[in-house]
Amino acid sequence: MTANADRGTWSSKMGFILAGAGSAIGLGNIWRFPMITGQYGGAAFVMVYLGSVFLLSLAVLIAELSLGRATQRNPVGMYNALAPGTAWKLFGVLGVLTGWGISSFYSVVAGWTFGYIFKTAAGAFNNLGPDEIASAFTNFISNPVASIGLHAVFMCLTMLILFGGVKEGIERWSKILMPLLFFILIFLVVRSVTLDGAEKGLSFYLLPQWDHLSLRGVAAAIGQAFFSLSIGMGTMITYGSYLSKKENLISSARWVAVLDTSVALLAGLAIMPAIFAFGLDPQIGAGLIFVVLPNVFNEIFLGNLFGTGFFILLAIAAITSLISIVEVPAAYFIDELKMSRKKAVTISGGGAFLAGIPAALNGNFLDWMNIIFGQYSLIIGSLGVSLFVGWKWGTAKVAAELRAGNPNFKSDKTYAFFIRFFAPVCITLLLIFVVAFPGLF
C-alpha cells in the first residue's frame, strides 16, 4: 500500500527503465565522467570505473530498488519501516541531506549548459581558437548574475516538472529525447576521433597506464560509478518505491546500468581525442566539456546547429536527473511529514537553490561540494545499503523481493556474496585508506 496518494507509480516496465535511465544518464555521464577521467589519468581509471559499475554498483542498485519496492518509502521511511527505532535511519537522513548537496551544484552546472544553448546558437564561439574559447568560459562563469540566474531558471523548471508528480512528470520527460542524445553523441564521436591529432587522446583513454592510478583515483572511480547510477543517496530507493511487484528488478537494473555506462563511455570517446587534438589540458576540471566541445562544433558542417542541439539534449538529460535528486527530500517530506507534493517540492527545490548559490559564485566551492556530496557521501550511503541488506534486513528477504517479479531467480548465493561481503569489504577498505592517508596521493 502506498502511504499517500500523492506518491504515484510507474505505468509500465518500460516506463521504469526509461525513468531509471533518465535519472542515471545526465551530467554525471557527459560532464563529470570525462572531467575526472582526465584528472585521474585516463584508461586505468576507466577500467576501475567499469569494474566498479558491474561488480559493485549493480549489486547496490538492485539492493536499493528492492528496499524501495518492499517498503514503498523514501530512504528515511524505508530504514524506519524495516528497522524501527535503530540508528540505521541515519543513513537515510544522510541521503536526504546529500540530495540537497548534490542538487545544489548540479543545478549550477545544468545552468551553464542552458547558457551554452544560447551562446552556441548565437555563434559566440565561431572563429575562436581553443584559448579564446577557454577564456570565454571563464568569463561566462564569473558573471554572478548569469550563473545564479541560470541556476534559478533550471531549478524552477525542475520544480515545475515535479509538481506534476512521478508518473506524469518524470516518466513522460524521460521517454522523449534520450535516444536522440545517444545518436548525437555517436556523431560527435565520429568527428572527434577523426580530428588531426586524435591518436594521443585515444591512447590516453583506451590504453591503461596503471602507474598513473592512485588510491584517490580508485575512490573517485567508485564514487563516479555510484554517482552515475544514482545510487548511495536514495534516488533508486525512492524510484524503486514507485515500481510494481510485477517488475523484474534484476533485468531493470541491468538495463539501466548498460544504458548509463554506454553513454558515459561514448561521452569519453567524444571528448578525450578532442582535448588532445586541440592541445588542451585534460586536468582543467569542471569546465572541461564547455572548453572542449565548442572547438569540435567549429570543425563540423552546420556546427552551430549541431552544438545547439547537443546542449539542448544535455540540458534535458540533466533535468531528468535533477528531478530524481530533488525528489528524494521531497518524498521524505510527503511520506514522513505528510506534506502536499507542492509544498514538499517547493522546500526541496527552493532549499537546493539557496544551497547552490555559493557554488554558482565560486568554482572552488563547487569542486568541494562535488567531492563531499558527489563522492564521499555516496560511498558512505552505498556502504549503508549493502550492510543493511546483507546483515540486517537479510539476504533471504531480498531474494524473496527479487523473486516477486522474477519467479525463476536462483542466484541467491551469488547475490548474497556480493551484497554481504564483497561490497562492504571493498568500500570499507577504500574508506579507511582515504581517511587514513589523506595526503598520500
- Return residues touching ligand TRP (CB under 6 A): 23-24, 26-29, 102, 227-228, 230, 232-233, 235, 321, 324-325, 378
Residue 19 C-beta: closest distance to ligand TRP, Å: 11
Q: How far apart are CA 286 and CA 363, in angstroms?
A: 8
| Residues found in the chain | 441
8-46 CB burial, b ≥16 within 10 A, e <16: bbbeebebbbbbbbbbbbbbbbbbbbbbbbbbbbbbbbb
Residue 410 C-beta: closest distance to ligand TRP, Å: 30
Q: Is 30 helix (H, G, I), strand (E, B) or coil?
A: helix
Residue 102 C-beta: closest distance to ligand TRP, Å: 6
Residue 163 C-beta: closest distance to ligand TRP, Å: 19
Residue 29 C-beta: closest distance to ligand TRP, Å: 5
Give the CA count within 13 Å in the CB-facing half-sphere of 433.
Answer: 16
Count CB neighbours of 304 within 10 A: 19
Q: Which triple of cell numbers denotes residue 75?
A: 530512504
Residue 323 or 402: which CB sits closer to ligand TRP?
323
Residue 193 or 378: which CB sits closer to ligand TRP?
378
CA-based Rg of the chain, rounded to a whole angstrom?
Answer: 21
Residue 29 or 386: which CB sits closer to ligand TRP?
29
Q: How far apart are CA 111 and CA 356, in angstroms?
A: 11
Nearest residue to ligand TRP on Cβ basis:
28
Residue 46 C-beta: closest distance to ligand TRP, Å: 16
Residue 109 or 198: which CB sits closer to ligand TRP?
109
Residue 21 or 292: which CB sits closer to ligand TRP?
21
Residue 312 C-beta: closest distance to ligand TRP, Å: 16
Residue 28 or 201: which CB sits closer to ligand TRP?
28
The vertex-363 CA angle with 372 and 37, nearest 5°, equals 65
Residue 158 or 324: which CB sits closer to ligand TRP?
324
Run of H or E residues at 115: helix 89-121
Q: How far apart are CA 417 and CA 324, in angstroms?
A: 29
Residue 229 C-beta: closest distance to ligand TRP, Å: 6
Residue 324 or 386: which CB sits closer to ligand TRP?
324
Residue 231 C-beta: closest distance to ligand TRP, Å: 6
Q: How far apart are CA 138 and CA 130, in angstroms?
A: 13
68-95 CB burial, b ≥16 within 10 A, e <16: bbbbbbbbbbbbbbbeeeeebbebbebb
- DSSP assignment of 343-383, as one string? HHHHHHHHHHHHHHHHHHH-HHHHHHHHHIIIIIHHHHHHH
Q: How far apart are CA 19 and CA 68, in angstroms?
A: 15
Residue 292 or 317: which CB sits closer to ligand TRP?
317
